[in-house]
Amino acid sequence: MHEIRESIERDPPCGDFMGMSPADGKRMPLVLQTSGGTTGLPRPMLYAPVDRETMAILGGRRFALHGIRPGDLVLVTYALGLSNGGMAPREALWRYTGAIPVMAGSGATTPTRRQVELIKAWKINVILGFPAYLRHMALVARDEMGIDVRTLGIRLIGTHLGREDRRQIEQLWDAPCFDMYGTHESGMMGAECQHQSGLHVQEDAFILEVADPDTGRILPDGERGTLYITTLYKWGAPQIRFNVNDISAYATDICACGSTMRRLQCIYGRADNMVKLRGVNVFPEAVGAVVVEDARSNGEYFCVVERVGEAGTDEMTVMVEARDASVDAHALKTDLERRMKEVLGVRVTVGIHGSGELDSYTGTSKTSKVKRISDRRK
């Protein structure tokens, strides 16, 4: 990943690693999309025709595994713009599922209240979105519109769970929630089936290896490490053992669905999101897992790491939104600090905030790529 960023800096906009450039548009149609840009300037990627079509097929498989069927109306709440977030699902849905994508985009494109109105008026029955926005939408419907989203008839949700609490989202919407794994460089690599027991890897299109992040040694099934991605289908910019910095592990059992494809347990976080706090590796996703398991919070949080005092001690403050004004802020703070010490293995400070107060930090209402941490030591 670091080498790709350096390549793009040397030779913008696309770098020198793809094997093709914008000039190749003279001999074939090309598409340019980017990464989400949460860890720096968005990374552009050019897609040749066979790349883009295969990515749509792989996305269609994902939706079939989730249970999306012809005739479904699918609200897509991913960002519409430079990133693949909304564009790739649209191509997969309309070309290979028979379902109809409703491209609302994030709250910055179509306000959240209007998205809820569309779900109700148009009888939309499937939603695709990130967990934070799915929670935000449900709370806006309840608190600002007097609508219980469980009454809207959503029959399934597709998302990127990682360490997020599936049960909270399913209870909010009264609908099953399915995980997936993909990157903008590689496409859709894995998705959950109806049994929700891990991400079935599309092994006819990818080789995924789990490696020790320090030594590069390939790890046995069940052990966590960073993912190395090899694409078997890409014409332009093929990846060979591409270290994308995502942390995962292979499942060691067989899925009840009968598929023989290997399964990733889940995506546990990103190695480049990890911060070292007084000698302990801390992932924002692990912090979020503690927050969402406490029903007194609404699931929203933001971490700030900084050096304090004359000694320059590393400290992390976790800002957490309470569910509503009736929550005892002191009790919630005390309980979360105790639980985070147990889970993270290091002490952090928790600050309790009102609903919506962290939006200026996270961007939950405005973007599908929510920010969760600011390391101010850099």
Residue 282 lies in a domain: yes
Q: Are 173 and 134 in contact (CB under 8 A)?
A: yes
Q: What is the mean pLDDT of the chain?
A: 92
pLDDT for residue 236 is more than 60: yes
pLDDT for residue 321 is more than 90: yes
List, for residues 344-370, the tens digit of each pLDDT value: 988 999 999 999 999 999 998 887 778
Q: Which pLDDT value is given to residue 378? A: 66
Report how far apart, in Å, the C-alpha atoms of 346 and of each of 26, 59, 278, 279, 337 are: 56, 39, 8, 9, 10
Q: Which residue has the higher pLDDT, 248 or 2?
A: 248
pLDDT for residue 216 is more than 60: yes
Residue 17 lies in a domain: no
Does 251 share its domain with 282?
no
pLDDT for residue 129 is more than 70: yes
Report how far apart, in Å, the C-alpha atoms of 201 and of each of 205, 223, 234 are: 9, 17, 17
Q: Which domain holds residue 343?
A: 274-375
Does 225 share its domain with 334?
no
**pLDDT confidence band for 312 (50 / 70 / 90):** confident
Q: Which pLDDT value is given to residue 265? A: 97
Q: Which pLDDT value is given to residue 4? A: 79
Q: Which pLDDT value is given to residue 323? A: 93
**Of 118, 143, 178, at which residue does a domain stop?**
178
Give the highest mean pLDDT range of 75-79, 123-127, 354-358. 123-127
Does 328 share its domain with 358?
yes
Total number of domains constituting the chain: 3
Q: Which pLDDT value is given to residue 1? A: 66
**Of 178, 212, 234, at which residue does a domain stop?**
178
- The sign one gets for the Cα dihedral 63, 65, 67, 71 is positive
**pLDDT confidence band for 275 (50 / 70 / 90):** confident
Mean pLDDT for the stretch of residues 26-48: 82
Mean pLDDT for the stretch of residues 1-29: 84
Does 131 share its domain with 108?
yes
Backbone dihedral region for residue 105 (phi beyond 0: left; psi -120 to 50: alpha; all else: beta): left
Does 162 share its domain with 210?
no
**Of 222, 251, 269, at which residue does a domain stop?**
269
List, for residues 45-54, the tens digit of each pLDDT value: 899 999 999 9
pLDDT for residue 38 is more than 60: no
Which residues is 315 bridged to in the sheet?
Answer: 306
Q: Which pLDDT value is given to residue 340? A: 94
Mean pLDDT for the stretch of residues 67-82: 94
Mean pLDDT for the stretch of residues 188-204: 97
Give the count of beta carbons closer than 10 Å to the beta carbon of residue 258. 8
